[in-house]
């Protein structure tokens, strides 16, 4: 069995054995879903406005070992959570959360916390049932994720949902395209769990390929995979093996209550779009910034309030950074690509006004580390980690520098991190698949 990069062959065999004990079968019959986490170097906070975003997967993620149960029953255990999950695929699944929450979103938040373990498996069944797929056989499985990366801004929830979808589809001999599974995972998140996120995360996890930058137009759903060119015969290319991805963790696992929420920023972007569309005679269009032309924005941006002007500036400048970043990536110019990533991080702070003091301090620390091409928050910057692109030759030195400097700035948060995992050195990888 070919190891996916974050687990050794021995660890995969141990996972197979865990499932074999649960199912009372030979461990060689166990298949494994490899569902990686994703990073988004460019395209921060513009997917909900129909912007173009970039993404790639890393060699960390979720592993789900499974075998067919031989009947309609599902039995699951977890490496991170206690207890077992049991249900039947014959049960018709209903949405876990209603979108009709109170004005503070309390029910939605409560549901999301309670859904982190077993409900994603039921959500996968819901999505397949909702789409007319015939599911008659359950699975016996054991799921585990890369240690310490939950609540880190790497889309572990999407990786879990996709893992269950692939396991149920494989067991029931259902052939599904990645594009179809993007929609199925959207059903898990939006309909079953009642979350208001887009399709960036599942798209990145399902479509990405090692060595490529995945770009998706969130308005048209069109996407491209652009490889980093090889070094041979091109002296301007830095080479596709000369960089690593750093993940530096803040120690924050929950968003600070003093920070403005995600939904407020979305609302402000829509309000900016409404003002601009009305100014240029397109008031009947859906209030999304992707429906405003760049020239129209330049002409009418003075009509925006100061706050809305900052949101619009982030959207249009970030869209441009994605385009420029794709050009730099395709030419192998990692320094230029990294500079754009850092500019994205700065715009997230100054124009989108997200983040919190520990994450901003971590971002600024990373930029001072040796060999860093560029850095930004992974996620909104209210918790979790920052991502960075770094020269492979300086990755270990940069990691040591970041840990030492951040510990001096935030000793209490840093004390909650393991020295081995406070800063991870990662490689980019392939998208979700079934092995074994």
Active site residues: 201
- Helix, strand or coil for residue 244? strand
Rounded-to-integer distance, Cα 323 and Cα 278, Å: 27
Rounded-to-integer distance, Cα 19 and Cα 297, Å: 56
Rounded-to-integer distance, Cα 125 and Cα 119, Å: 10
For 254, residues 6+ apart whose C-beta sits below 8 A from its C-beta are 151, 383
* Residue 116: Cβ-neighbour burial (10 angstroms; 0-12, 13-18, 19+): middle
Please, where are the H alpha helices in 115-155?
119-130
Please, where are the H alpha helices in 70-197?
106-114, 119-130, 156-171, 178-186
Phi then psi dihedrals of residue 62, to 5 deg? -110, 135
For 233, residues 6+ apart whose C-beta sits below 8 A from its C-beta are none
Nearest-5° Cα angle at 234, 232 to 239: 65
Rounded-to-integer distance, Cα 96 and Cα 108, Å: 10
Rounded-to-integer distance, Cα 372 and Cα 106, Å: 40
146, 156 Cβ separation under 8 angstroms: no
Q: Which of 155, 154, 381, 145 is nearest to 256 (CA)?
A: 381
Q: Which helix (H) or strand (E) holds 61?
A: strand 52-68
> Which two three-digit tokens encode residue 282?
């397109």
Rounded-to-integer distance, Cα 143 and Cα 140, Å: 10
- Helix, strand or coil for residue 59? strand
Phi then psi dihedrals of residue 76, to 5 deg? -135, 140
Per 3-state DSSP, what percentage of the chain is helix, strand, and coil (rounded to 5)?
45, 20, 40
> Which two three-digit tokens encode residue 37?
């986490």
CA 112 to chain CA mean position, Å: 16
């Amino acid at each position: 069995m070919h190891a996916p990069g974050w687990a050794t062959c021995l660890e995969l065999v141990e996972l197979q054995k865990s499932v074999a004990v649960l199912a009372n079968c030979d461990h060689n019959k166990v298949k494994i879903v490899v569902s990686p986490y994703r990073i988004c170097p460019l395209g921060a906070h513009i997917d909900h406005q129909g912007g173009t975003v970039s993404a790639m997967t890393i060699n960390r993620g979720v592993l789900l070992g499974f075998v067919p149960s031989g009947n309609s029953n599902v039995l699951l255990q977890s490496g991170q959570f206690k207890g077992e999950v049991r249900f039947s695929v014959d049960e018709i699944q209903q949405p876990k959360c209603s979108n009709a929450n109170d004005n503070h979103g309390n029910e939605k938040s409560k549901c999301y916390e309670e859904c982190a373990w077993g409900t994603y498996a039921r959500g996968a069944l819901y999505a397949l049932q909702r789409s007319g797929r015939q599911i008659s056989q359950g699975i016996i499985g054991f799921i585990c994720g890369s240690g310490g990366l939950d609540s880190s801004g790497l889309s572990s929830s999407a990786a879990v949902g996709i893992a269950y979808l692939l396991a149920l589809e494989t067991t029931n001999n259902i052939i599904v395209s990645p594009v179809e599974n993007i929609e199925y995972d959207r059903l898990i998140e939006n309909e079953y769990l009642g979350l208001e996120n887009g399709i960036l995360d599942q798209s990145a996890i399902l479509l990405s390929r090692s060595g490529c930058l995945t770009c998706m137009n969130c308005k048209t759903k069109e996407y491209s995979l652009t490889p980093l060119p090889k070094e041979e015969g091109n002296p301007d290319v830095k080479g596709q093996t000369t960089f690593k991805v750093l993940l530096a963790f803040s120690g924050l696992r929950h968003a600070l209550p003093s920070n403005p929420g995600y939904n407020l920023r979305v609302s402000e972007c829509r309000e900016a779009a409404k003002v601009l569309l009305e100014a240029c005679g397109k008031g009947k269009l859906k209030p999304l910034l992707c429906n405003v032309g760049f020239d129209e924005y330049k002409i009418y941006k003075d009509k925006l309030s100061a706050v809305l002007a900052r949101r619009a500036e982030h959207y249009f400048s970030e869209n441009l950074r994605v385009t420029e970043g794709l050009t730099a990536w395709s030419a192998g110019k990692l320094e230029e690509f990294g500079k754009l990533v850092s500019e994205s991080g700065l715009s997230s702070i100054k124009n989108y006004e997200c983040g919190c003091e520990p994450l901003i301090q971590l971002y600024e620390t990373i930029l001072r580390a040796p060999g860093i091409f560029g850095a930004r928050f992974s996620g909104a910057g209210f918790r979790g980690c920052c991502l960075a692109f770094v020269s492979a030759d300086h990755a270990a030195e940069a990691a040591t520098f970041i840990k030492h400097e951040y510990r001096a700035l935030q000793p209490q948060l840093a004390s909650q991190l393991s020295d081995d995992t406070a800063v991870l050195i990662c490689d980019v990888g392939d998208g979700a698949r079934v092995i074994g």
